[in-house]
């Protein structure tokens, strides 16, 4: 249990964040395109295609309904991919972390840099979708839709932290497939990205209610559709609880993996 | 006051004791070698010194800082060359130095002012804007060494700095290390190239199974432990020859496969004798650190 003490924080994580930012800057064009294109085409395809069959969902156009879900799942995906695949490269394949740990940084600094970088990169994905929403005029209230941005930060932190747990225990890239098929995809299908959770059998609704993506959508969807969300503190608190527990676990597991 | 003082350092994994009660005293300004066969505990020892793994027992004082408690403070003043190159493949040569310098909290302006001399040291001035992926193995190693100097460290720790390099590249690294010693830096290196240790180290320890089995200056060790000359004799009939003549001609002898190592104080008569044995080939050479190493650690393979 000696590895599972509380995560330590220090400002030394900043140069590592800057390192990741510099790598990203070199490939910013393809990276932004990759972040934006996939969720945008899903949104436009389903939005126009299905949306023409479904006139209204909860008093809004299907496209607007779907766009809010898309922000959340796009942010989730972006954070997850970053800390899983890119994080694993930096930790295991390129041995970037090993080099950093020989400098006056600790593993906790590196982990916090990964967490904050995953959240930063996914913030960009969330904002990119939000920009498409603005461009199409899907938001009901522009000012209210700005509140999506801080929510996206919390979503990014939550899914970065959860992903880091997987990275900590992964022997290879192939391992991440389990996480996608057993965690991420079910979450997308259960938590109301494409349709209201209320349409599901009650047992599935109960499962969805504890999953972090549901809380994300419960905040973002009203903000896009022009209402103030209910139970804001509860939703933020639930996501942060997932984030803190996951991050703590991820730091412990990674210490056990690296510091031996 | 030694720059590194280690007492009774101990580490075990499961039931295997990797480091067993290690003591070290490394003086400021010297080049100190940590020698040993694979699995002797060299890398584990280095990692404990750097505060990357926690010892089970023992004390480490490095640059006046207790380790692992103040490892961060100590690492600010240390440069590390790891066993495997872990340069950042996404960056150019110069960017690698800049990014690494930032980890030490050094302002960009200061790092940028150091980069030209670091590139000069590494012989990579013309490669500043080259991608890492296009560098040769020797260039990568030189850059890794230059990267370890970005914080102008007092102590440089190198884990097998020349493993996998060709002789030319190896000599360039040695030259670089000698320059650093000359500048007054302290160097701690692990190696299993005895020639490397003999050329560079003022003092060394030989580790085996996590324990110090010999310690001292390389030349003194050779003089104290080994007869001054070695004749290596090869041939199918070397067994028979050894049985008949070994004791008579050699002060001490060992057979490995088809090679007889004959340690002597004066090999002249032996060579005269061997000249007449046309089925045996032989090489006469002065004894070296490798002979000391093999005397202590034996000749059987360690990684099987």
Give A 65-124 residues with CB within 8 A of chain B: 94-96, 98-106
Let me know how many helices (H) and strands (E) chain B has, helices first: 12, 14
pLDDT at B278: 74
Which runs of consecutive H residues, i.e. helices, occur in B85-147? 93-103, 108-122, 137-147
Sheet holding B57-62, edge to edge: B16-26, B4-13, B57-62, B65-67
List chain B residues with CB under 8 Å of A26.
90
Please tell me the least confidently modeled range out of A29-33, A162-166, B15-19, B133-137.
A29-33
> How many residues does this entry show for chain B?
304
pLDDT tens for A178-192 read 999 999 999 999 999
List chain A residues with CB under 8 Å of B73.
104
Domain-located, residue A41: yes
Backbone angles phi, psi at B8, to 5 degrees: 55, 35
Domain-located, residue A1: no
- Determine whether the interchain pair A259/B105 forms a contact, defined as Cβ–Cβ distance below 8 Å: no
**What are the CA-CA distances from residue B267 to residues B76, B227, B229, B246 (Å)?**
52, 11, 7, 13
Structural domain of A189: 26-258
pLDDT at A85 over 90: yes
Instruction: From A258, A194, A228, A203, select the one nearest A42 (Cα to Cα).
Output: A194
The predicted complex's ipTM stands at: 0.92
Mean confidence (pLDDT) of chain A: 95
pLDDT at A200 over 70: yes
Most B CBs within 10 Å: which of A23, A97, A102, A109, as the mutation test of the B interface? A102
- Total count of domains within chain A: 1
Q: Which residue of A has its CA nearest to B13?
A: A260
pLDDT tens for B113-144 read 999 999 999 999 999 999 999 999 999 999 99
Backbone angles phi, psi at B171, to 5 degrees: -65, -35
The CATH superfamily holding the domain B4-217 is: P-loop containing nucleotide triphosphate hydrolases (3.40.50.300)
Most B CBs within 10 Å: which of A12, A103, A117, A258, as the mutation test of the B interface? A103
What is the count of residue pairs from A and B with beta carbons less than 8 Å apart? 63
CATH of B227-286, one of 2.120.10, 3.30.1140, 3.40.720, 3.30.70: 3.30.70
Neighbours of A5 (CB within 10 A): 12
- Determine whether the interchain pair B50/A102 forms a contact, defined as Cβ–Cβ distance below 8 Å: yes
Over residues A199-205, the mean pLDDT reads 94
Reduced 3-state DSSP string for B13-56: ECCEEEEEEEEEEECCCCEEEEECCCCCCHHHHHHHHCCCCCCC
- Determine whether the interchain pair A94/B88 forms a contact, defined as Cβ–Cβ distance below 8 Å: yes
pLDDT at B281: 87
Give A 9-38 residues with CB within 8 A of chain B: 12, 15-16, 18-19, 22-23, 26
pLDDT in tens, chain B (304 residues): 899 999 999 999 988 899 999 999 999 999 999 998 888 899 999 999 999 999 999 999 999 999 999 999 999 999 999 999 999 999 999 999 999 999 999 999 999 999 999 999 999 999 999 999 999 999 999 999 999 999 999 999 999 999 888 899 999 999 999 999 999 999 999 988 888 999 999 999 999 888 998 999 999 999 988 888 998 988 878 888 788 877 778 888 888 878 888 999 888 888 888 888 777 888 899 998 888 888 888 777 766 5
Most B CBs within 10 Å: which of A99, A106, A110, A254, as the mutation test of the B interface? A99
CA distance A19 to A94: 14
Over residues A72-79, the mean pLDDT reads 96
Query: Which residues of chain B approach chain A closer than 8 Å at the C-beta?
Result: 13, 50, 52-54, 72-73, 75-76, 80, 82, 84, 86-91, 95, 99-100, 102-105, 151
Among A19, A26, A102, select the one facing B82 at the smallest CB separation.
Answer: A102
CA distance B47 to B36: 16
Domain-located, residue A10: no
CA distance B217 to B227: 16
CA distance A74 to A193: 10
Task: Give the domain ranges of chain B.
Answer: 4-217, 227-286
Minimal C-alpha gap between A247 and chain B (Å): 21
Question: Is the entire prediction scored with pTM above 0.90?
Answer: yes
Neighbours of B77 (CB within 10 A): 18
Neighbours of B83 (CB within 10 A): 16
pLDDT tens for B17-26 read 999 999 999 9
* Both structure tokens of B114: 């150091």
- Determine whether the interchain pair B89/A12 forms a contact, defined as Cβ–Cβ distance below 8 Å: no
- Determine whether the interchain pair B73/A104 forms a contact, defined as Cβ–Cβ distance below 8 Å: yes
> How many residues does this entry show for chain A?
260
Domain-located, residue A88: yes
Contact B190, B42 (CB under 8 A): yes
List chain B residues with CB under 8 Å of A2.
54
- Determine whether the interchain pair B86/A99 forms a contact, defined as Cβ–Cβ distance below 8 Å: yes
Sheet holding B155-159, edge to edge: B78-81, B155-159, B186-191, B31-35, B203-208, B211-216
pLDDT at A199 over 70: yes
- Determine whether the interchain pair A103/B100 forms a contact, defined as Cβ–Cβ distance below 8 Å: yes
Minimal C-alpha gap between A219 and chain B (Å): 38
- Determine whether the interchain pair A94/B95 forms a contact, defined as Cβ–Cβ distance below 8 Å: no
The position carrying tokens 């006056």 is A104
- Determine whether the interchain pair B53/A23 forms a contact, defined as Cβ–Cβ distance below 8 Å: no
What is the separation, in whole angstroms, between the first and last Cα of chain B?
41
What is the separation, in whole angstroms, between the first and last Cα of chain A?
13
Minimal C-alpha gap between A87 and chain B (Å): 14
């Amino acid at each position: 249990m000696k590895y599972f003490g509380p995560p330590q924080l220090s400002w030394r994580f900043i140069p590592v964040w800057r390192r990741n930012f510099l790598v990203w800057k070199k490939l910013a064009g393809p990276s932004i395109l990759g972040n934006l294109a996939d969720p945008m085409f899903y949104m436009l395809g389903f939005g126009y295609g299905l949306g023409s069959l479904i006139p209204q969902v909860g008093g809004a156009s299907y496209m607007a309904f779907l766009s809010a879900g898309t922000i959340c799942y796009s942010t989730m995906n972006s954070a997850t991919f970053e800390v899983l695949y890119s994080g694993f490269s930096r930790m295991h394949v390129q041995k970037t972390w090993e080099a950093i740990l020989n400098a006056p940084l600790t593993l906790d600094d590196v982990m916090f840099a990964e967490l904050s970088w995953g959240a930063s990169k996914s913030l960009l994905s969330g904002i990119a979708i939000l920009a498409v929403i603005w461009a199409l005029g899907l938001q009901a209230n522009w000012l209210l839709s700005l509140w999506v941005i801080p929510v996206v930060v919390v979503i990014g932190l939550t899914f970065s932290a959860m992903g880091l747990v997987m990275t900590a225990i992964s022997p290879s890239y192939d391992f991440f497939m389990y996480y996608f098929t057993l965690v991420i995809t079910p979450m997308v299908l259960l938590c109301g990205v494409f349709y209201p959770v209320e349409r599901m059998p009650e047992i599935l609704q109960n499962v969805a209610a504890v999953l972090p993506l549901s809380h994300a959508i419960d905040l973002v969807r009203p903000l896009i559709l022009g209402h103030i969300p209910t139970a804001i503190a509860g939703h933020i608190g639930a996501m942060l609880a997932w984030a803190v527990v996951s991050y703590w676990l991820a730091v412990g597991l990674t210490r056990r993996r690296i510091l031996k | 006051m030694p720059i590194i003082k280690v007492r009774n350092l101990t580490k075990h994994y499961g039931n295997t004791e990797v480091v067993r009660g290690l003591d070290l005293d490394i003086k400021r300004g010297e080049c100190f070698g940590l020698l040993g066969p694979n699995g002797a505990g060299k890398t584990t020892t280095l990692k404990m010194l750097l505060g990357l793994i926690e010892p089970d027992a023992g004390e480490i004082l490095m640059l006046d800082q207790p380790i692992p408690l103040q490892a961060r403070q100590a690492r600010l003043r240390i440069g590390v060359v790891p066993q495997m190159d872990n340069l950042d493949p996404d960056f150019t040569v110069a960017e690698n130095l800049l990014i690494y310098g930032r980890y030490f909290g050094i302002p960009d302006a200061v790092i940028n002012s150091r980069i030209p001399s670091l590139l000069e040291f590494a012989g990579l001035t013309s490669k500043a804007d080259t991608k890492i992926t296009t560098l040769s193995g020797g260039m990568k190693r030189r850059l890794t060494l230059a990267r370890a100097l970005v914080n102008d460290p007092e102590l440089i720790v190198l884990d097998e700095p020349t493993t996998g390099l060709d002789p030319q590249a190896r000599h360039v690294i040695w030259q670089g290390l000698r320059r650093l010693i000359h500048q007054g830096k302290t160097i701690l290196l692990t190696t299993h190239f005895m020639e490397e240790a003999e050329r560079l180290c003022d003092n060394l320890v030989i580790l085996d199974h996590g324990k110090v089995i010999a310690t001292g200056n390389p030349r003194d060790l050779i003089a104290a432990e080994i007869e001054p000359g070695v004749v290596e004799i090869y041939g199918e009939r070397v067994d028979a020859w050894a049985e008949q003549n070994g004791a008579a001609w050699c002060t001490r002898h060992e057979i490995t496969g088809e090679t007889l190592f004959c340690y002597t104080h004066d090999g002249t008569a032996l060579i005269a004798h061997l000249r007449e044995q046309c089925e045996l080939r032989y090489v006469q050479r002065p004894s070296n650190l490798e002979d000391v190493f093999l005397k202590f650690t034996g000749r059987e393979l360690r990684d099987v």
